[in-house]
Structure 1
Amino acid sequence: MPEQIRMCFLGDSFVAGVGDPAHLGWVGRLAARAETRGLVLTGYNLGIRLDTSGDVRARWQREVRRRFPGAPDNRLVLSFGVNDTTARPGGTRTEPEMSRANLDAILTGAVQAGWPVLVVGPAPIADQGQNERIRVLNDQFAAVCTVHAVAYIDTFAQLIAAPVGTAEVNAGDGSHPSTAGYERLTEIIFAPWWNWLTH
């Protein structure tokens, strides 16, 4: 594994770490933990609150190309989907088939550019009706990643059953966890993320 890696984390408010009083979220915690293992990581947090998969698709290449020089190891981590499933009159902010198409387009572009990519699936929130839509989209995103032979981390099933994270979401804004929830999310993500980096 190279000693220095540039990594863009693209996504929504969960990537940005909204709700974490330490302002680390899972992205900052991953980077801090990786450094204790000798990895010098230049991480770019490109999470934007309320972004859908379509919003990320519209901006990802412009954002990433500015941060990836001709260095030997540039990588992408994607995480979005919750905002796609938000109810709107007549449907949701992004219909499932378009969410899948957006992810497919980003993965296709990343693979063509030669950038290794990993996808972190969407997390549950306090709204049980929306959680059912998130669960379905989570499964669909996993299937898209399988087609592209891209690593996928399913956080939904583990977080939906985590009482600490669920309590924090319910006590907060109904969507985002606080310290313990982001620590739990980091625990779920770190091992497969590290395996992706080192193999």
Structure 2
Amino acid sequence: MIEDIRICFIGDSFVQGVGDPEYRGWVGRVLETGGGDITAFNLGIRRNTSEDVVSRCWQEVLPRMLPGADNRLVISFGSNDMVEENGAVRVDPVRCLENLISILDECRRRAVTPLVVGPPPVISAGAEHLERTVKLAEEMNDLCDAQRIPFIATTLRLADNLVWTREVLAGDGAHPSSGGYRQLADLILAGQWQRWIAQAHS
């Protein structure tokens, strides 16, 4: 394994870790497990949709990559896409998937190793939002499976997680506190994270 691993985490407020009084979110907690000489960059922005992420992705990621290093990208979006505003979702699910494909295709061209974390639920957005987000996550999973890219599902697991839902409802209705982010980090660590970190750079 190449020792110099550079990982950019790009996405929305869940990537940013909004609501965590410890300012670590799930990204910081996952990185605590180590797994090589990792230089990490959190590029999460609150309210970002997949449209926002795809438009800024490479202008933010490329300056943080290093020729000859093991350059990687963790992508997580979709929760904001499925929020309904003015009678329509912010981003159509088909367009959201196209944005994911665009980023993954560019990863392949630039020899950047990707991992996709599925969209967490927005508890206060209600059952219809959850249904849309679950369907989107399933389609993301299928897309990643077809390209042999690791995908970590979070939506239903967090919707059924008492720590996550309790902290979200005690807060702003969308973001948990430190305990909820610990739950999300544990899901990621129990998924394909360690295998992804250990894999040889392609």
TM range (shorter): over 0.9
Structure 1: unaligned runs, 5 residues or longer: none
Aligned mates of 2:127, 2:151 — CA distance in 1 = 23
Deviation at 1:134, TM superposition (A): 0.8
CA offsets 1:67-96 (integer angstroms, 9 cap, x no match): 112033010000010000010223110011
Aligned mates of 2:159, 2:49 — CA distance in 1 = 21
| Contact kept in structure 1, 2:6 and 2:72, CA below 8 Å | yes
CA offsets 1:37-86 (integer angstroms, 9 cap, x no match): 5x221100000000000111001111111111203301000001000001
1:49-198 equivalent positions in 2, closer than 5 A: 49-126=46-123, 127-191=126-190, 192-198=192-198
TM score, norm. by length of structure 2:
0.93
Name the structure where helix makes up a greater proportion of residues: 1
Deviation at 1:2, TM superposition (A): 2.6
Aligned mates of 1:8, 1:138 — CA distance in 2 = 21
Aligned mates of 2:68, 2:29 — CA distance in 1 = 24
Deviation at 1:121, TM superposition (A): 0.1
TM score, norm. by length of structure 1:
0.95
The runs of 4+ residues in structure 1 deviating greater than 2 Å are 1-4
Deviation at 1:125, TM superposition (A): 1.9
1:45 aligns with 2:39: no
- The code of the aligned residue for 1:2 comes to I
Aligned mates of 1:90, 1:163 — CA distance in 2 = 30
| Contact kept in structure 1, 2:17 and 2:24, CA below 8 Å | yes
Aligned mates of 1:105, 1:3 — CA distance in 2 = 28
Aligned mates of 1:134, 1:155 — CA distance in 2 = 10
Aligned to 2:33, the other structure's residue is in SS state helix
Structure 2: unaligned runs, 5 residues or longer: none
Sequence identity percentage: 42
